[in-house]
Amino acid sequence: MNTATLDATLAHKAIGQIAVDLPGATAVFRRLKLDFCCGGQVSLQHACAQKGLDTDAVLAQLAPLQRQEQAAPDARDPAALIDHILTRYHAVHREQLPELVRMARRVEAVHRDHPDVPTGLAALLEQVEQELLDHMAKEEQILFPILKAGGSAMVVYPITMMRMEHTSHGQMLERLGAWRIVGRQEMYVPFHNYRFDDPAITEEQLLLLGHANPDYMRWELRRVWIVEAKLREGFRHIYHKRRFYIEEDSWNMVMTENYDGRGELWKAVLINSLYAYDAEGYEKRQQMFHDLRAGIYNCTRLTNWTRPWNFSAPDPGADFFTVENRRKSGKR
């Protein structure tokens, strides 16, 4: 595609939209210090004028990014089909994924206070990139040479492995659309509740019929991030939607809400978090799982009637976890 054609389609287009529509454009814009994020609403021509750049010169740098889609070669020609995969997909992935990760990291940093910022996107994309690089290396070093050489009876094994990894990669990509940040707010949540660890308080005192004893619960006003997950179309699960409340200082989950297929709140979880001084960090303690429809609940990780957790205990040594030693310490 020549520069004249690009000029008609891109010069008057919003630079932010070009960054979205044309993979690789963000790298060009970053190199030229063209703001396609907060200033992305202006046209490319206007952005170039503000920076004193020649629009045609910028369009010339964008021209190679316009890839004409080509039909895949006949599958009966494995060598040609493999070459097409290497140039059209593998090379493009290696070129574009690092830039995508950089952009995700930048968005999370610049817009960290925005309620819709995609927190965690960069980390997920980095994981996708690493797994995809490993996958492509296996294809290029093992599977493709076998196919180019005419195949063999053993080729079924790497093909099976590649198919399994394709499924795994697809499931990871689905996570990008299933989760969203609802926002951040201050709210009262279970926090710093040391009384639940007090051995002087009995289990009967702590847990009442239907709920934990409010006399022993402790709530604090904390900054909480709310993350929502919805069931993707075509999938089945007992929950249609889940909401997770994550306390900002500890990054511990402090509450969850689970909704049924009718969108009604069905189950809720309250989680006590506290600062463990011997571990010098926050620790999740008791977890109360409420079934609101049945009117019942259960509580896990009660430690008040057992020895408290000791994060400063010395290393027991490798022999401590052997089957023989565990058998000796067991009780009948």
Structure tokens at 155: 């080729």
* pLDDT digits 0-9 by tens, 42-80: 888 888 998 899 988 888 888 887 776 677 788 788 889
Q: In the chain, where are the structural domains located?
A: 3-65, 78-178, 191-300
Return mean pLDDT, the chain: 83
Assign 191 a pLDDT band (cuts: 50, 70, 90): very high
Higher pLDDT, 124 or 240: 240
Phi, psi of 45 (to 5 degrees): -60, -45
How many CA atoms are closer than 13 Å to the CA of 165, on its beta-carbon side?
Answer: 17
Assign 125 a pLDDT band (cuts: 50, 70, 90): confident
* Position 127 pLDDT exceeds 80: yes
First to last CA, the chain: 79
pLDDT at res. 331: 61
| Start-end of H helices in the chain | 3-10, 15-21, 25-31, 44-51, 55-62, 78-85, 91-110, 121-138, 144-148, 156-178, 203-206, 323-329
CATH class of 191-300: mainly beta
Query: Which CATH architecture describes the domain 3-65?
Result: Orthogonal Bundle (1.10)
